[in-house]
Amino acid sequence: MTAPLRLGVNIDHVATIRNARGGDHPDPVRAAEIIAHVGGDGITAHLREDRRHIRDADIERIMAATSLPLNLEMAATEEMLAIALRHRPHAACIVPEKREERTTEGGLDAAGLHNQLAPMVTRLREANIRVSLFIEPDTRQIDAAIQLKAPVVEFHTGKYAHLLLDGDREGAEAELRRIADAAALAAKNGIESHAGHGLTFDNVQPIAAIPQIAELNIGHYLIGEAIFIGLEESVRKMRMLMDMAR
Ligand code: PXP
């Protein structure tokens, strides 16, 4: 069955530009309002340990200002758990986080971190926060998500995106099959599949065409493209490409 496909827009890099000058422009809240207006289905924001883009106050302001559900990306730390429990966003996506990385480079080792993640997933679920685990499209990680009773997994599409950029079509096709197989396995086990990282106008459609994937979370490219065509057009065009692929 093909589920409707939602678009969550990651607005971290609106905050990156704002923080470059230390003031309050451009405001991620204004971006969230525009995204709501043009048919985005959700707002995604990653509160990093170093607060390099989104900050604590942004989370509160985004939740107050828009009617769209907030998907809070967070590392598996006590600090982030406390913040999530305080704000109670619609969803929390647990991601691996390294201080020195430029972006989230790979999926969470949900299998290796079972004991650390189990109480965290339970507490988030008890607070009615929809938990997702940002993982590689890998059977072992899906098995771990099943053990952890995570209702959602988000597959890291960075490898697929990089293989295409490197001109490795065969490699990208193989990675795409891995993502499709993983989404089918997740669905068979009652887990909803999302996907994201490195998605662009050029590479989104094969991912959007995977019938079990219910949500894409896209940030850097959409905000970058907004510089040239505006945020409204950037989100509208992505939405249209996703719908066409479905
Ligand atoms: N999904 C998750 C879990 C992420 O960590 C990120 C990057 O913050 C994204 C989606 C969006 O990736 P990109 O900015 O490359 O579109």
Q: What are the tens digits of pLDDT across the range 28-81?
A: 999 999 999 999 999 999 999 999 999 999 999 999 999 999 999 999 999 999
- Closest residue by Cα to residue 149 from 129, 127, 132: 132
| 93 CA closest ligand 1 atom index | 3
Spell out where the chain has E strands: 6-10, 42-46, 70-74, 91-94, 130-135, 152-156, 192-196, 213-218
- The pLDDT of 182-196, averaged and rounded, is 98
Choose the CATH number for 6-245 among 3.90.25.10, 3.40.50.11900, 3.40.190.10, 3.20.20.70: 3.20.20.70
What per-residue confidence (pLDDT) applies to 56?
Answer: 97
Count CB neighbours of 181 within 10 A. 15
Q: Which residues are annotated as a binding site for 3-amino-2-oxopropyl phosphate?
A: 10, 21, 198, 219-220
**For residue 104, what pLDDT is reported?**
76
Q: Which atom of ligand 1 is nearest to the CA of 222?
A: 16
Confidence of residue 171 (pLDDT cuts 50, 70, 90): very high
What's the pTM value of the predicted model, to 2 decimals? 0.96
Residue 148 one-letter amino acid: L
Q: Mean pLDDT across the stretch 187-206?
A: 98
SS3 content of the chain, % helix, strand, coil (to 5): 50, 15, 35
How many residues belong to the chain? 246
